[in-house]
Amino acid sequence: MACDESKINHFCSLLAIYKHVVSNMRKTLSILISLLILSCDKSENKTIDYGAFEITVPKSWSEYKIKGIDSYVSGLITDKNDTLIFDLGWYSPDLTKNPEVLVFEQSEYAEFSDKQKKQLENVKHLVIEDFLTAEYDAKDYFKYEYELDSIDCFIAKFIKPKNKGYGVSGIYIDSLKGGGPNSNKTSLSFYGNNLSDSTQTEFFKALKSIKLTEYCE
């Protein structure tokens, strides 16, 4: 009988340990699920419908409304307070059409503010005495570079500054088709200025998500 009681006590001890382990596992699992939910919430995006197109952006970004004159203008404000503006119309700017070159005459550079000169400290640029006599390769000092990539059914220029954080980042689509008899004259630009690496990456990801439902057949 004593042997049986010993076995029962041993079994009860094991059962108590098992219940304790299971209880701890449930608590741990509950914590992991909560962390996973919070993680999903942090990475959640939202889609903004501008009528002519839709774009998916981080939920911390907000819509920025502007009144355009000859085109449809509006934009976004990022969580770092950067302003991203799009222009949909006949006069949307293409920054690569007339390349900006970071070459300055001494007289022009002398008139720059201290802030402007400080911004140029880590930027590849050239200060010359006179444009007529100076010898240099303008391509070495282009402010912008671009790559072609697709957005919905169109090919777009993804434009960024050659010197990170110094200049405009964004896209330009030359001609949208399918929106009416004059739609082939309609262009789209969407730019942000002096963006950090992380914001530029998020911005380009958002731009890739654009759905031009009004123009893509």
Containing 107, the helix (H) or strand (E) segment is helix 106-110
> Which of 135, 138, 131 is CA-nearest to residue 106?
131
> Which of 93, 53, 95, 49 is CA-nearest to residue 70?
93
Domain boundary among 137, 164, 187: 137
Distances (CA, A) of 92 to 75, 89, 141: 14, 6, 24
2 and 93 housed in the same domain: no
120 and 80 housed in the same domain: no
Measure the CA–CA gap between 168 and 7, rounded to whole angstroms. Answer: 78
pLDDT for 3 beyond 90: no
84 and 161 housed in the same domain: yes
91 and 168 housed in the same domain: yes
* pTM of the model as a whole: 0.74
148 and 133 housed in the same domain: no
pLDDT for 4 beyond 70: no
What value does the mean pLDDT of the chain take? 85
Q: Which domain holds residue 107?
A: 102-137
**Position 214 in a domain:** no
76 and 146 housed in the same domain: yes
Residue 181 CB-density burial (10 A; 0-12 exposed, 13-18 middle, 19+ buried): exposed
Percent above pLDDT 70 for the chain:
76
pLDDT for 29 beyond 70: no
147 and 201 housed in the same domain: yes
**Position 118 in a domain:** yes
Q: Structurally, how many domains does the chain consist of?
A: 3
pLDDT for 106 beyond 70: yes
**Position 217 in a domain:** no
84 and 113 housed in the same domain: no
Measure the CA–CA gap between 172 and 182, rounded to whole angstroms. Answer: 18
124 and 171 housed in the same domain: no
Of 2-11, 75-84, 124-133, 183-192, minimum mean pLDDT range = 2-11
